[in-house]
Amino acid sequence: MPRNILLLIAFIICGFLVTLWIDQSSNPIGLTQTTPQPSPEKTTANFQETLPDFQFTTLDGKTHNISNFHGKIVLLNFWATWCPPCVVEFPKLVELSSNHRDVVLIALSSDLSVAPIEKFIAKQKPQIQKKIATPSVLIAKDNKGKITADLFQTYRLPETIIIDRNGKMVKKIVGDTDWESEEITSLLGSL
């Protein structure tokens, strides 16, 4: 039994070190932070980078290009059902997108299969499930991290990138945040 505990601790430490090493690698799309990081738990950054074009397939089997959302404000959320802050944040983002006419939530899950995502959605309150079924909420599984890790170099979940109507990434938020705050409301109103 003590040997199993030592092995578990060794795996956790190795995982932490690998994540730390990966987080310090270069960013292929050139995102730069213009505001200091307030804490390792929660990070926000403002930047003006053009969103790289990519495709994703939603749980209902429809394929979308991110460029199809030109003219809309997009909340590009990287999350997973096994991530506690993601689970807390998810319904808040669904509410936000349904309360703003021109806001679309694209939730890209890092789960290994679709089953946990579907199970997670089935456990949501009925009013959230109803809002998930609207065109303003798109949920997809990011196959093998091709978008999350490879394209955006995102390894800390949740992470949300706010994209303006012209396809510019204007704010990056790492960690759960107050999606009803004056700052977020003002930002969305200005886009």
pLDDT digits (tens, 9 = 90+) for 102-139: 999 999 999 999 999 999 999 999 999 999 999 999 99
pLDDT of 42 higher than 80: no
Domains in the chain: ranges and CATH: 2-190 (3.40.30.10)
Kindly indicate the confidence band of residue 38, based on its pLDDT and cuts at 50, 70 and 90. Answer: very low
The reported pLDDT for the residue numbered 15 is: 60
CB-based burial, 63-91: b 16+ in 10 Å, e otherwise? ebebeebeebbbbbbbbbbebebbbebbb
Cα 110 from Cα 158, distance rounded (Å): 10
DSSP H helix total and E strand total for the chain: 5, 8
Give the pLDDT mean for 15-31: 47
Cα 148 from Cα 77, distance rounded (Å): 9
